[in-house]
Structure 1
Amino acid sequence: MRKTQAFLFTLLLLLLNFCGQPARQPDEVRLRLAIDPGSLSPINYSSQEALQIINLLYQSLLTVDLEDNTLKPGLASSFPEVERKDSLTFFHYQLRPEAEWPDGSPVTAQDVAFTLKVLKSPFIRNEYLRAQIEFIQDIQLDSSNPSKFTLVCQGYTPEMQLLTGDFFILPSYLLDPQQVYLTIPLLTLSTADSSQYNTDRTRAVAARCNKLGSPESKEILQGSAGYQLAEWASGQHVVLKRKENWWGKNTGDAKSYLTANPAQINFQIIPDNTTAHLALKNAQLDVLDNIPVNEFEQLRQDDNFLKNYGLHTPQGYDLIYAAINTRKPKFSDRRTRQAIAHLMDVPGMIRVSQQSYATPTVGPVPPDRKDLYHAQLPMRSYSPEKAIALLKAAGWIQEQQGWYRILNGQREELRIELLYRAGNTMYEQMALIFQQHAMKTGIPVTLLPLEGNVYSQKIDQRDYDMHFRGLSGNPFVFNFKPLFHTSFAGPGGLNSTGFGTPESDQILNQINETESEVAKARLLHRLQEIIQEEAAFVPLYFRKERIAIHSRFSNTKVSGVRPYYDLSSFMLKP
């Protein structure tokens, strides 16, 4: 009887979640978000769920066409011309003449300049994106053509072409209607003390930008892409509607990837996997990704389901890894961390949590980038014997109750508190496997599943022993500096483990500076070796994505690059 009650309760929750929404349109795509996006700010988003929506509201200078996973011009009319002079590189851009904002005004170089000033402004919360564009020093506008501009960049790397075009362009007329930022030189924000610009007027612009992305900011949450926010019920759904007469339809050949086809896109916020699976089976969702393995295998055997849905398994670029907090005295010796890494049974984790839908890896470089992946570096094996030997070498003494050593004059026991995101079956299964193996060698492991915000907060505050997490990547850029450089190891920085040596810092800088693909491969190979030696950031595997899409749609552009399909390109079959 209890199983029936649980099923009825889940079904009731599902039905309630779909009540009180805008009427479903014939030309509508419905899909699931695992968490509420929290913020849809194009300058300070914090989740992939948010980014998926922002991509439908705003555009960058360059974009990725998921049809063939290639980089193509977005708001820019073409790829930039590159000019190098001494230590500077100049990227000459021109915007599409068709590009316009929701009020019908053109997207101009002044909007690009305003965006860069916002991203570099110390008064605006955008630390992560600020680091991404630190190499852009200045912008030069063309006085004779408002759509032309030049980005002045320090140094040169081949990846700069992508990075100069990989940030969302903001409408200055909405965020800075008084044109306060117009007179602030970008170069000043890049190189000098900007406190002179901390005025009432700039603080007002900063407040508007910091508010951007909240449910209350709907009036200013508007970009140049083909959709606008229609409704946002926090914790329930986010609905986007297609703009009428959107300019992207008038871009010639580019309209094959600058698209806004579905009339409405409805994101359902369903944290529970079982509820999401039920919604898919009941045809209340058109798209579901990140399907747990067991459910996906069930769907593959369900002939009735396959009459209406197609299943897809592209090789993705999402890295699953373990992180060990090197700041904790008990984990400060890398031999201790190496021992813990040898207790991670990666093949077993893949078998239980992913079956055949994952590829093990020696580092953060995807194995399909054969030119950069370190194929000669041996996979770290699961070996309790090696783990025990390493613990003894690190000074740990094994007793009947476990392992201990004297650290800073005090007796310290080797216990691990393992964090992971609550409700994620994959992490739960991996955590249980690790716990069982660690216990066999006498290391107690406490599992601590946490809700998303609490989980992220503990990691940002460095209040953890070890955690499992996913990292989204792509096959284009390998700028690992924010992830591994010691300058990003402070509170809130992406280097949450405290990883870093003088050599790795130097290599990370050189990777971003080198022009030679051969030199980049050599540097990345050495970086992967150091990552394995330090065992603070422990790469485990790259997932294959598991997606179901309703068969009434064509032109879905399924890809291994997030978000794994192009919602804006979906077309109803006749």
Structure 2
Amino acid sequence: MRFFLFILLSAFLLSCNSEKATSVNKLNEVNVRMDKEPGLINPFYAPTSQGRTVYQYIFLPLADYHPETLELTPILIEEIPEGSEVEIDGEKRIAYDINFRDDAKWPDGTSVTAKDYLLAVLMIKHPKTLIVGWQPYFAAMKKIELDDNDPRHFKIFLDPNYMVGKEAAVTSSVMPAHKFDPNNILIGKQDLIFGENYETSDSAELKVVEEINNSRNHKKEIFQNGPYTITDFQTDEFLILDAKKDYWGQAYPNNPFLQSNSDRIVIRVVPDEVAAINMAKDGRLDFLNMKSSDAFFELKNNPETNKDWTFHVPPVRTYYFLSLNNRSPIFRDRGVRRAIAHLVDVEDIIENIDGGLGMRTTGPFHPSRSYYDESLSPIKYDPELASKMLSELGWNDSDGNGIRDKVVDGKKEELSLEFLYTGSNLAKSIGLLFQESAKSAGVELTLVSKKMGLMRKENLNIYNYDMAALAITSDEAPDDPYSRWHSDNAIPGKRNVSGYSNKDADKLIETIRTTRDTDLRKEKYKELQKVMYDDQPVIFLYCPLQKMMINNRLDAKATSKRPGYLANTFKLKN
């Protein structure tokens, strides 16, 4: 186990006063496994679960959901603001007063200020931005008011009807205005950028925007205010994160997001789970997040492994699904989508592939949500029914090659489909099981493995695919289904990668995100689930439990907050 202690733990404890020794038993290094390359390490440009595994130690939001209480907790700001109703130019708004901590600093010692927040919001809203995922959540932000007398204080004004306006506003990270926009070129155009249909040809402004957009590719060059910085990396192999010296966040030892209990976090990219397990046994890994339930239970039930490791299965708000390209000639017919759904034996997947560590879901909301519709029965596995439905829809094997076909828009289409997946053994196992049942119904399935970045670029973002095994993870705020399921976002490059479009669903989504009446919103959530259940735009599979191994020398906790742990909080047990 690679815990490089200062000679011996006992000597270390003697060298510190008792208060510090009980608060932090420091590690020199903790080694964490990732199963794939994280890609972009930037919450603005790539707010993915893989990216978060790294950027959560480097970028700090104003606030975040506490890993234990799951309540919004201040990080860069002094407290979570309370809103007050105001009227601006005849429009009702909710105003929030926000103050950054007076000791929150950038790496060069410059204070974090309101301009840093304003710059981030302006980039989210700018017409030339490459920040796509955040835009729907910041449409409700109508104005930011700086304080001429206090650079740390500012006020935001939100549309009062957007359900998670405050949550979106305070869980954003910030950008160093003194680095990117020292001459206030972008900051000076707030009114224009916040307006509708803003366009610009200002070369100086476009240069600022381009520089910030280009920073999305940074790793070692990242200039941020979290407790760690990337000091070395090798693509597809590792990233080394070193704790900052004399870090301002050390003044808040009880804030989990500001801790740096290990001097170094080494994130090792190990796609092969067997190799990762062997590395753990050899002392080269301290933490594993696993996909294989068989391997997990085998290790958990092995007395030799049990003495060195603890095993955890925290729930996370994640669901697995098979995205169907609703724009394709085949899957634009919801009857076909429904029939294909009957070919996926989800119960068998949960029990025999994922070790029973999952629960069925019938829609885009986690079953733990109060607005999840439990009245909807999961689509049952029934190949005979699927075959009957396809035949009734005119899909038959006209040429005797074992694959159903049909003339659609004057062209013969075969039910010969590509199943894209990112290379994980779990997704591959799901694909192989699905492939077998599909064949019995005259549907040919070809499994194609691709890295997620390539899959997004070549397939998902341009609707050039049949189906893809994907996962969505959400945070603790109420779900806003707009970006993934509204037809506004069923265009290339947006997040509605299935291309789903339904006017009734659109209206329900708009009502959900613009009402503050929680009872009405709950009702509309359920109505939306029923519409999507009937449409089956994708095949909803199940919500998994995480499978984690943590070396028992560590005082470490799992959490239901994604990605399920905070390695910066890991420390040695007393």
The answer, yes or no, to whether TM exceeds 0.5 is yes
* Equivalent in the alignment of 1:7: none
C-alpha deviations, 1:105-136, integer Å up to 9, x for none? 21111111111112222223111222332221
Question: 2:65, 2:476 within 8 Å by CA — same for their partners in 1?
Answer: no
Q: Say whether residues 1:200 and 2:203 are aligned partners.
A: yes
Structure 1 position 310, deviation (Å): 0.9
Aligned mates of 1:568, 1:26 — CA distance in 2: 10
Out of 210, 213, 216, the residue aligned to residue 210 of structure 1 is 213
Q: Report the Cα offset of residue 491 of structure 1.
A: 0.9
Deviations 1:71-99 (A, max 9, x none): 21121211112122454222221212221
Which range moved further: 525-534 or 409-418? 409-418
Deviations for 1:301-348, whole angstroms, at most 9, x for unmatched residues? 222222221110011211100111111112221111100011111101
Paired position in structure 2 for 1:309: 309
C-alpha contact 1:56 1:226 (8 A) present in aligned 2: yes
1:260 equivalent in alignment to 2:260: yes
CA distance in 2, matches of 1:90, 1:189: 20
CA shift for structure 1 position 479: 0.6
SS at 1:203's partner residue? helix
Whether contact under 8 Å (2:117, 2:173) holds in the other structure is no
Distance 2:443 2:292 in 1: 29
1:462-500 Cα offsets, whole Å, 9 max, x none, are: 111111111112332301111101111111211111112
1:150 aligned residue: 155
| Paired position in structure 2 for 1:6 | none
SS in 2 for 1:411: strand
Q: Give the corresponding residue for 2:363.
A: 363
Q: Is the 8 A contact 2:57 2:257 kept in 1?
A: no
| Residue pair 1:29, 1:286 contacting (<8 A) in 2 also | yes
Residue equivalent to 1:4: none
**Out of 173, 179, 183, which is 1:174 matched to?**
179
Q: Aligned-pair distance for 1:277?
A: 2.0
Any conservation in 2 of the 1:238–1:267 contact (CA below 8 Å)? yes
Structure 1 Cα separation of the partners of residues 446 and 257 of structure 2? 48
| SS class of match (2:316) | strand
**SS at 1:518 equivalent:** helix
Aligned twin of 1:122: 127
- Amino acid aligned to 1:210: N
Q: Distance in 2 between matches of 1:353 and 1:190?
A: 49
Q: Secondary structure at the match of 2:435?
A: helix
Contact 2:84 2:94 (8 Å CA) reproduced:
yes
The number of aligned residues is 543
Say whether 1:459 aligns with 2:436.
no
SS at match of 1:315: coil
Percent identity (aligned): 23
CA deviation map 1:493-530 (0-9, x unaligned): 11111112111011111111111111111111111111
Q: 1:46 to 1:461 in 2, by over 3 A?
A: farther
Residue number among 186, 189, 193 corresponding to 1:189 in the alignment: 193
Instruction: Read off the aligned partner of 1:385 and give its amino acid letter.
Output: E
| Stretch moving more, 50-59 or 372-381 | 50-59
- 1:414-425 to structure 2, matched below 5 A, reads 414-422=415-423, 424-425=424-425
2:557–2:565 Cα contact (<8 Å) kept: yes
Q: Is the 8 Å Cα contact of residues 134 and 190 (structure 1) preserved in structure 2?
A: no
CA distance in 1, matches of 2:506, 2:468: 23
Secondary structure at 2:541's aligned position in 1?
strand
Are 1:420 and 1:468, in contact at CA under 8 Å, matched by a contact in 2? yes
> In the aligned structure 2, how far is the partner of 1:564 from the partner of 1:558?
6
* Cα 1:408/1:81, change in 2 over 3 Å: same
Corresponding residue of 1:9: none
Q: Residue 557 of structure 1 corresponds to which residue in structure 2?
A: 557
> Secondary structure of the equivalent of 2:404?
strand
Matches of 1:75 and 1:135, distance apart in 2: 22
Alpha-carbon separation, structure 2, partners of 1:269 and 1:477: 32
Q: CA deviation at 1:257?
A: 5.1
Deviation at 1:406, TM superposition (A): 2.2
Distance of aligned partners of 1:155 and 1:398 in 2 relative to their CA distance in 1, 3 Å threshold: farther
Q: CA deviation at 1:391?
A: 1.7
Q: Report runs of 4+ in structure 1 exceeding 6 Å deviation.
A: none
Opposite residue 519 of structure 1, the aligned amino acid is L
Shift of 1:46: 5.5
Q: Is the 8 A contact 1:286 1:550 kept in 2?
A: yes
- 1:297 match: 297
Contact 1:366 1:475 (8 Å CA) reproduced: no
Could you tell me which residue of structure 1 aligns to residue 145 of structure 2?
140
Which residue in 1 is equivalent to 2:485? 484
Contact 1:352/1:429 (<8 A) preserved: no
Q: Is this contact kept in 2: 1:532–1:538, CA < 8 A? A: no
**For 1:206-231, what per-residue CA distance to the aligned partner results, in whole angstroms no more than 9, with x for missing partners?**
2321221435x634x12121112211
Q: CA deviation at 1:52?
A: 2.0
The equivalent residue for 2:65 is 64
Which of 32-41 and 563-572 deviates more? 32-41
Matches within 5 A, 1:276-295: 276-295=276-295
* Counterparts in 2 of 1:172 and 1:218: CA distance versus 1, 3 Å: farther
1:339 aligns with 2:339: yes
The Cα shift of 1:158 comes to 4.2
**Alignment gaps of 5+ in structure 2:** 3-25
Aligned residues of 2:107 and 2:224 also touching (Cα < 8 A) = yes
> Quick one: distance in 2 between partners of 1:26 and 1:61?
27
Task: Report the Cα distance in structure 2 between the residues aligned to 1:180 and 1:41, rounded to whole angstroms.
Answer: 23
Separation in structure 1 between the aligned mates of residue 103 and residue 452 of structure 2, nearest angstrom: 40
Question: Is the 2:273–2:290 contact (alpha carbons within 8 Å) kept by the matching residues of 1?
Answer: no
- The answer to whether the Cα contact below 8 Å between 1:489 and 1:499 also exists between their aligned partners in 2 is yes
401-410 vs 496-505, which moves further: 401-410
TM-score (norm 2): 0.90
User: Is the partner of 1:568 in helix, strand or coil?
Assistant: helix
Matched position secondary structure for 1:397: coil
CA distance in 1, matches of 2:257, 2:210: 34
CA distance in 2, matches of 1:213, 1:482: 21
Is the contact between residue 291 and residue 547 of structure 1 (CA under 8 Å) also seen in structure 2?
no
Please state if 1:495 is matched with 2:462: no
- Mean Cα displacement is larger for which, 275-284 or 150-159? 150-159
Q: Describe the shift of the 1:404–1:431 C-alpha distance in structure 2 as closer, same or farther (beyond 3 A).
A: same
SS class of match (2:95): strand
Retained in 1: the 8 A contact 2:291–2:425?
no
CA distance in 2, matches of 1:453, 1:147: 38
Distance verdict in 2 for CA 1:35–1:346, change over 3 Å:
same
Q: Distance in 2 between matches of 1:352 and 1:282?
A: 29
Q: Distance in 1 between matches of 2:125 and 2:572?
A: 42
Deviation string, structure 1 residues 277-299 (Cα, Å, up to 9, x no partner): 22112120111113411211121
Contact 1:67 1:557 (8 Å CA) reproduced:
no
Question: Within 2, Cα distance between the matches of 1:128 and 1:27?
Answer: 36
Distance 2:554 2:275 in 1: 23
1:382 maps to 2:381? yes
Counterparts of 2:148 and 2:182 in 1: how far apart (Å)? 21
